[in-house]
Structure 1
Amino acid sequence: MKSIQDKDDLFATIPKRHSGIYKKAIELCTLSDADVGIVIFFPNHNPPSVANTSIDSISNRSLNQNLTSNNTARVNELEQMRPL
């Protein structure tokens, strides 16, 4: 994999890849009952693209806190995080 050097090409490619990552995350949740958290930092140094309670839930659980939710709720949360 090679970094995209042309800024115009880079910013045109980001939404496509961003959308693809969300689709794969939803598929992973659905097929394997996995919890998935995604944080994407863009090259223009904007804040992370994802910051909602599902990310907090996943990070808290990874810090040995017992938080639970069902698979349907996780998929719905991921779908709501998708860019328009």
Structure 2
Amino acid sequence: MRTVEDAMSGIPENPSAATSLPDGRMYPPHELFEKKSGHSMVQLFKQTGHSTWIGQNGAFRIQRSDEFVEIDKPGKDGKTISDLMSEEQ
């Protein structure tokens, strides 16, 4: 993500972006915003207005606070975040 933003955004990376006002550049989720997902294979990050789940298989889901799913991509094994979470139930 950083490489793409370096090439495409024209905005220099801010090392303090997690605690700064938005600058128009996209950043990966920061550890400050990680919450317990309840599943060992899934990380959960809560930001203002949305949540981001990242699976150990590369799957990811971004969901707005109103529960609308913006994007839900499976990982390299074809499993989604929901699949990973249901496997641990």
TM, length-normalised to structure 2: 0.29
Which structure has greater helix proportion? 1
TM, length-normalised to structure 1: 0.30
Greater relative contact order: 1 or 2 (C-alpha under 8 angstroms, separation 6 or more)? 1
